[in-house]
C-alpha cells in the first residue's frame, strides 16, 4: 500500500537508505533534516543526492525543536505515517552535552507528537536504542525488561521519548511503535562509529583505540535489515489500530570488539595497529537483542552476516574515498 510518509533525519545514515527504499516502493516521502553539525554537512548532502530530485520526494530543512517551524512545514500535507529517526546520537558525546540531547531528542519528539495531535496524524514509528537497556546482565535483551537504569544521557533521552510516546498514545490514541536499534552499520555509517572510524584509521596506517580488553560485544545489525524492520513497522501501523509496541531490531548475534577489528583487517587486507585504553564512561559491556517479538509482529528476519556487512562497508568506503 502506497502512503505519504514523513522521514525525520532523512539525510542521515539510516534515514537516507529508508527514504530511497520507500520511494522505490512508490510512496510519497517528505524528508526532514536540520543538518546537525555533529558531523560534516557534506556527508549528509551526499546521502541525500541519490534521491533528492525524485518526483515523489519533498525535502524540508527544519529543526524539530522549533515547533512553529515544524508545524508550518507540514501545514498543507496529508500524512499517513511519521518515521521519526532524527535526533542526536552517541553515548560519549551525550555525557559532555546532556542539554543538547534533551533538546534534540526529548523536546523534538514532544514537538513531533504535538504536530501529530494537532493535524490528526495517527501513526508513528520511532527510533529508540538498545542503549536504554544499560548494563543489564540479563541477555538477550527483551522488551519486557526493566529499563529504568540508563547509564548515559543519550540512553535516558531515548527512554524518555518512549515514555512520552506512551502518554500520547494513552491520551490521544496515537498508534506508535518504538524500534530499539542495535548498532546499525554499513555504507553511509556515521563517521564517529567504530567500524567507520577503525576502517579509516587502519587504511591510513594510524593506530586504533581499543577501549578495554576487547571482550565487549555489540549486536551489529546491517542497515538493510534495519530498513526492512522499519518497513515492517510501517506495514503493521497501516494495518492495525490501537497500537503501542516496543520492538528490538537487532541481529541476535553479538560480536566481540577483537572480532570486529579482525573482520575489518580481513576486509581491508591491512593489519591494525592497536592501542589499548581504559573502558570509557557510559559504555556497556554487551548489547544482545532478543528479536522474537519483531519476527512475530513485523516479519523481521535479518539476512546479512557481520562479515558480509563489513566487506560491503569497506568496499563503499574505498569507493567514496578513492582508496
- The pLDDT confidence band at residue 184, using thresholds 50, 70 and 90, is very high
Average pLDDT, the chain: 96
pLDDT score of 229 more than 90: yes
In terms of CATH, what superfamily is 4-182+223-250+290-302? NAD(P)-binding Rossmann-like Domain (3.40.50.720)
pLDDT tens for 26-42 read 999 999 999 998 889 99
CB atoms within 10 A of CB 130: 25
pLDDT for 287: 95
3-state secondary structure 171-202: HHCCEEEEEEECCEECCCCCCCCHHHHHHHHH
> What band does 281 get if pLDDT is binned at 50, 70 and 90?
confident
Burial class (CB in 10 A: 0-12, 13-18, 19+), 223: buried
Average pLDDT over residues 224-239: 98
Active-site position among 133, 154, 168, 236: 154
Banded model confidence at residue 14, pLDDT cuts 50, 70, 90: very high
Q: What is the pLDDT of residue 323?
A: 63
How much is the pLDDT for 38?
A: 85
The answer to whether residue 284 scores a pLDDT higher than 90 is no
Give residue limits of the domains in the chain: 4-182+223-250+290-302
pTM: predicted TM-score of the whole model, two decimal places = 0.97
Active site residue 154: yes
Does residue 139 have a pLDDT over 70? Answer: yes
Task: Give the whole-number percent of the chain exceeding pLDDT 70.
Answer: 99
Amino acid at each position: 500500500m502506497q502512503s505519504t510518509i514523513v522521514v525525520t533525519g532523512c539525510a542521515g545514515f539510516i534515514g537516507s537508505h529508508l527514504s530511497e527504499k520507500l520511494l522505490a516502493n512508490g510512496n510519497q516521502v517528505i524528508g526532514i533534516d536540520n543538518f546537525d553539525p555533529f558531523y560534516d554537512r557534506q556527508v549528509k548532502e551526499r546521502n541525500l543526492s541519490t534521491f533528492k530530485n525524485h518526483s515523489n520526494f519533498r525535502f524540508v530543512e527544519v529543526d524539530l525543536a522549533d515547533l512553529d517551524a515544524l508545524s508550518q512545514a507540514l501545514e498543507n500535507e496529508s500524512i499517513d505515517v511519521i518515521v521519526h529517526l532524527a535526533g542526536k546520537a552517541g553515548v560519549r558525546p551525550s555525557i559532555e552535552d546532556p542539554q543538547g540531547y534533551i533538546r534534540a531528542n526529548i523536546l523534538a519528539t514532544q514537538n513531533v507528537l504535538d504536530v501529530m495531535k494537532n493535524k490528526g496524524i495517527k501513526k508513528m514509528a520511532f527510533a529508540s536504542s538498545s542503549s536504554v537497556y544499560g548494563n543489564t546482565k540479563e541477555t538477550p535483551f527483551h522488551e519486557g525488561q526493566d529499563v529504568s537504569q540508563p547509564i548515559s544521557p543519550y540512553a535516558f533521552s531515548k527512554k524518555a521519548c518512549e515514555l512520552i510516546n506512551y502518554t500520547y498514545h494513552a491520551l490521544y490514541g496515537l498508534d506508535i511503535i518504538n524500534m530499539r536499534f542495535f548498532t546499525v552499520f554499513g555504507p553511509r555509517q556515521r563517521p564517529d562509529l567504530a567500524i567507520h572510524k577503525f576502517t579509516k584509521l587502519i587504511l591510513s596506517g594510524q593506530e586504533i583505540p581499543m577501549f578495554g580488553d576487547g571482550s565487549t560485544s555489540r549486536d551489529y545489525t546491517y542497515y538493510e535489515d534495519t530498513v526492512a524492520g522499519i518497513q515492517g513497522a510501517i506495514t503493521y501501523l497501516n494495518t492495525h489500530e490501537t497500537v503501542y509496541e516496543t520492538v528490538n531490531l537487532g541481529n541476535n548475534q553479538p560480536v566481540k570488539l577483537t572480532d570486529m577489528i579482525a573482520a575489518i583487517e580481513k576486509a581491508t587486507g591491512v593489519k591494525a595497529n592497536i592501542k589499548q585504553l581504559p573502558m570509557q564512561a557510559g559504555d556497556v559491556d554487551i548489547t544482545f537483542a532478543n528479536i522474537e517479538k519483531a519476527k512475530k509482529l513485523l516479519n523481521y528476519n535479518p539476512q546479512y552476516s557481520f562479515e558480509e556487512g563489513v566487506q560491503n562497508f569497506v568496499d563503499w568506503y574505498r569507493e567514496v574515498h578513492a582508496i
